[in-house]
Amino acid sequence: MTNYVPEPIAHPMMPVANHDEHAREDITVDIKKWMTSYIYPNDELVYERKAKPKFKKQHGRGPEDCDEVHHLMLDEPYTQMWSSIARTLQEMLWDNQGEITAREMPRLKAEAKKYLRDPKGSLTLDSNFKTPRYVDAVDIHCMPGGYQTSLTDDDLFVAGVYERGAYYYTKGMGGRRREGPGTAMVNAIRNFYPEFSPKRILDVGCTTGGTSTSIASAWPEAEFHAIDVGPAVMRYAHARAECLDQKVHFHLMSGDDMSFPDQSFDLVVSGGVFHETSVKGARGMIKEMRRVLRSGGITMHYDIPFGGAFNIHEQFMLNWDCWYNAEPFWRQWTAWDRTDFLIEAGFKKECVVDTWADRDRHGNFAFFEKPFDETHPSAQGGTGRVQFFGAKK
pLDDT tens digits, 289-348: 999 999 999 999 999 989 887 899 999 999 999 999 999 999 999 999 999 999 999 999
- Strands, sheet with 386-392, edge to edge from the N-terminal-most edge strand: 122-124, 249-252, 223-228, 200-204, 265-271, 293-303, 386-392, 352-359, 365-368
Residue percentage of the chain with pLDDT more than 70: 93
pLDDT in tens, 79-94: 999 999 999 999 999 9
Least confident of 92-106, 208-222, 270-284, 378-392: 378-392
Per-chain mean pLDDT for the chain: 92
Higher pLDDT, 366 or 12: 12
Q: What is the CA radius of gyration of the chain?
A: 21
**CATH class for the region spanning 163-392:** alpha beta
Q: How confident is the model over 110-138, as a mean pLDDT?
A: 96
pLDDT value of residue 364: 56
pLDDT confidence bin for 375, thresholds 50/70/90: very low
- Between CA 235 and CA 256 the distance in angstroms is 21
The closest of 180, 192, 197 to 354, measured between CA atoms, is: 192
Q: How confident is the model over 278-292, as a mean pLDDT?
A: 98
- Between CA 227 and CA 207 the distance in angstroms is 8
pLDDT value of residue 180: 79
Which sequence spans correspond to the domains of the chain? 163-392
pLDDT value of residue 229: 97
* Alpha helix stretches (DSSP H) within the chain: 19-34, 43-46, 52-59, 66-73, 77-115, 133-136, 157-169, 180-192, 210-218, 231-243, 279-292, 312-318, 320-324, 330-334, 338-344
